[in-house]
A and B are shown apart, each in its own frame.
Chain A
Amino acid sequence: MGRPKIPRKSTSIDMTAMCDVAFLLLSFFILTTKFKPAEAIAVTTPSSVASKIAPDKDVVLVTIDPTGKIFLSMGDDKSDVSKKEALADLIMQTKQISFDKNKFAKAHFWGCSFGQLPSFLNIPEENRKGNLLSGIPTDTTKGTNEVYEWLKLVTQVYSGQKMNLLLKGDNDAKYPAFKCVIDAFKKNDLMKFQMVTNPESIPVGSELWKSNMKGLKRDE
């Protein structure tokens, strides 16, 4: 009782359709991809074993560039924009200067003294490059650690609300710049902050590695 034999068919599949889709997608991506805009402030962060992902809400970010210049920025969320406007008002009040509030809120970062703020905001966004700007002055010898002043105003804006204070420093930034920022934090009673780093694997055999193996939770 032989069963009827199913005639052998070629196993090749018509790949045309797949090809079409693949190339369609490929061309779509090629045409629509915008490369990540060249960072206005070029910073390569050091790596650490910290595994907590940096928050992206209610962020106040202090950036230290390779030459030790300091920049301040805030998040781009809707809530952040209102915070930025509040900060603009506060600066105008306390420093008795006037500038375009919208421009201030739109700026991705601020990196100048209060006095230079109006002219800083007049620079077109694409020309605001970290290496061309002076950064927030920190010269303690002249008694103008403006990072402190900036942060003081930011803290006032955030008063009562949670603020994620981040510090993003470049590998090559020298310690004095870092210290300057820490001092500014301390003076403002901002005792908790987080440093943005790249993830790195935990060295095998270290204490942390052992406790991770045991399944203990890290308190970070």
Chain B
Amino acid sequence: MAEMDTSSGGGHKKGPGVKKGKKLSTRVDLTPMVDLGFLLITFFIFTTTMSQPTAMKLFLPKDSDSKDQNKAKESGALTILLGKDNHVFYYEGMMDNSNASSKFKSANFGNGDDGIRKEIMRKKASTIEKDLVIVIKPGADCTYKNVVDALDEMSINDVKKFALVDITDVETQLIKITEAAGTPK
């Protein structure tokens, strides 16, 4: 075993009779190691694909058996409407003409206080788990990204029951009115 001599502290104490140690080269040939390293690098370059796309599963309900379609309880329903330019609107329970505009609120996809996530969490905390149904209604002007984001919110907030439903004319009108009234937050 090669040992490093640390005791002599750099002094020249060697007497004339002390034999010099055999010169051991400290040079290690690094080439094989480098080769191996680069071989590995190439291996990884060839086998790795950058950022694999992931897949989000979605199960569609059957349209045909509409008669035993479970009606959502009004108290547990939250409807999310997707408008153009990433606008989100939501209302709780049923929509009828008398209270339409007061119930209708706007939100966004952000993380902040007016983000839709806050609202979903609030709704989730205030309703019984099995009654909670979130209805996503994408408008004609919203993008695919909005829909995926909304579906993503469902998995982020662990919402078990949600539905993708067509928007009604009344709701489209409401969105138009709200958007015309001023840019929502």
Binding site for B on A (CB under 8 A): 2-7, 9, 11, 13-14, 17-18, 21-22, 25, 29, 45-46, 48-55, 64, 166, 169-179, 182, 185-186, 191-200, 202-203, 206-209, 211, 218, 220
Please pick, from A5, A25, A177, A196, the residue contacting B53 in the complex, using a CB distance under 8 A.
Answer: A196
Q: Quick check: A175 and B27 within 8 Å, CB to CB?
A: no
In the complex, 27 of the A-B residue pairs with CB atoms within 8 angstroms, ordered by the A residue number, are A2-B8, A3-B8, A4-B14, A4-B20, A5-B21, A6-B4, A6-B21, A17-B30, A17-B31, A21-B38, A25-B42, A46-B144, A46-B148, A49-B156, A170-B144, A172-B143, A175-B143, A176-B140, A178-B138, A185-B60, A192-B58, A194-B56, A195-B58, A196-B53, A197-B55, A198-B53, A203-B156
Q: Quick check: B26 and A11 within 8 Å, CB to CB?
A: yes
Q: Quick check: A53 and B13 within 8 Å, CB to CB?
A: no
Q: A6-B21, A6-B24, A21-B34 are in contact. Are A49 and B147 (CB under 8 A)?
A: no
CA distance A45 to B166 in the complex (A): 23
The interface size of chain B toward A, counting residues with CB under 8 Å, comes to 62
B131 part of interface (Cβ distance < 8 Å): no
Q: A185-B60, A198-B53 are in contact. Are A4 and B157 (CB under 8 A)?
A: no
Interface code B23-40, partner A: CB below 8 Å = 1, 0 otherwise? 111111011001100100
CB neighbours (8 Å) of B148 from chain A are 46, 48, 169, 195, 197
CB neighbours (8 Å) of A169 from chain B are 144, 148
B67 part of interface (Cβ distance < 8 Å): no
User: Other CB < 8 Å A-B pairs besides A9-B25, A17-B30, 20 of them?
Assistant: A2-B8, A4-B5, A13-B27, A13-B30, A17-B34, A21-B34, A25-B41, A48-B54, A52-B56, A53-B54, A54-B55, A55-B55, A174-B142, A191-B60, A191-B62, A192-B57, A195-B151, A200-B152, A202-B156, A211-B158
